[in-house]
A = this chain, B = another copy of it.
Amino acid sequence: MKISANSKRCVLSPIRKFYPFSEKAKAQGKKVYHLNIGQPDLPTPEAFFEATQAFSQKTLEYAPSPGMPVLLDAVQKYYEKLDVTLKTDDIFITTGGSEALLYTCLSILDPGDEVIIPEPYYPNYRTFINAAGGKICPLPTQPENGYRYCDREKIEGLINANTRAILLTNPGNPTGVMLSEAEMQMIADIARKHNLYIISDEVYREFCYDDSGRIPCMGRIQGIEDNLIIVDSVSKRFSSCGARIGCAITKNIDIQDALMKFCQSRLSVATLDQIGAAALYGVDDEYIRRSVREYRHRRDVCITGLRNIPGVMVEEPMGAFYVMVKLPVDDTDVFQEWLLTEFDDHGDTVMYAPGAPFYETPGSGVDEVRIAYVLEENKLKRAIEILGLGIARYRKEKMGIE
């Protein structure tokens, strides 16, 4: 029986790939510290549960396809505070940011169309783009340069007749790179000049660690109304990953028409979760500020720990809650399996996401890993300590280096 070529080009999530090994390690009594998944541990605001518990209709009905008015209004007001003026018709509530990304790709990509993405990038982008028959055109970066990618010449050098869009995660997953306002303007200029879409994945928008208090949003830039599709989500902002509530935002009416077709085809997004998500947007801003302070502190703890490990190369990330790290090992995939099957320190071991699948360019990222600093301070310190001990022992036993 035939399987589609597009699905063959998709891959399993590298973030979830070592799950069977970790289950086995846990079954053997090991404690596994998870630095592999961006699952925040902060409590979800009570407002979410209060709102879903207050639901009193007898029948749990379909919601309107582009989203419930109460949530569309809440999103609109939230953007108003960011100085981005939206009509509710510009907003399409989706099942997580993931569905927004898939529908965006299906709306704009024909088979063979290319999307420029700075690498390393969030690996699930590959599935959304491949599902539409598209192709990733990677914009290479260097760990030595903190994975910064905003170089006009390099970006324009990748543009050809098949180029349809530039996809950015800002702040970045997995790198934590944050664009300056000038860099965002440069991307906008390039998109306008070459008639490209900008898919701006801003689900980590508030998680910025410079001291400016700036909250980046492409939606503030004028003149790219027809180019821009913003992808957003409550998952990280409100520590509500399991709600699966996101949205796609665009002022391009052709894209709106296309998105509406996909939204109608799946009828609606879960009703209770939309009601809960609407309540999240009413939570005091101090909730987010406290979360950001916490993650900034964890970043500092994480970077300090990593810098104490000989041979590790890491730049301080300025946003999101990930850091891409170069380890002094031959292959972080092999090293991860070894950590789970052959290593422990007093029964403890650690997981990260191996770096190679974050790259399109073959051979890249083999000695890199993505670390999600989503554990509280003491666990994070211990996890990094284990990583250091593991590196030392692996280098000695497997690489023959003292």
Contact = CB atoms under 8 A, between A and B. Distances in A.
Interface of A: 1-8, 10-13, 16, 37, 39-44, 48-49, 52-53, 55, 58-63, 65, 95-96, 98-99, 102, 106-111, 113, 124, 127-128, 131-133, 164, 195, 197, 226-227, 239-244, 252, 254-255, 257-258, 260-262, 264-273, 276
A258 B4 contact: yes
Given A10-B262, A258-B3, A267-B241, A43 B65 contact: no
Contacts of A195: 1
21 contacts: A1-B227, A1-B255, A3-B108, A3-B257, A4-B109, A4-B113, A4-B258, A6-B106, A7-B106, A13-B264, A40-B59, A41-B59, A42-B59, A52-B52, A60-B240, A60-B241, A95-B99, A98-B267, A243-B272, A244-B269, A270-B270
B40 A243 contact: no
Given A7-B106, A107-B3, A65 B270 contact: no
Contacts of A48: 60
B52 A6 contact: no
Contact of A59 (B1, B12, B44, B276): B44
A338 to B, nearest CB: 24
Contact of A197 (B1, B60, B113): B1
Given A2-B164, A3-B255, A60-B243, A267 B106 contact: no
B239 A59 contact: yes
B254 A3 contact: yes
Contacts of A2: 108, 110, 164
Contact of A12 (B1, B240, B255, B261): B261
Contacts of A16: 65, 264
Nearest to A244: B270
Contact of A102 (B12, B13, B132, B266): B266
Contacts of A41: 59
A106 B4 contact: yes
Contacts of A6: 106, 110, 132
Contacts of A106: 4, 6-7, 131
B44 A49 contact: no
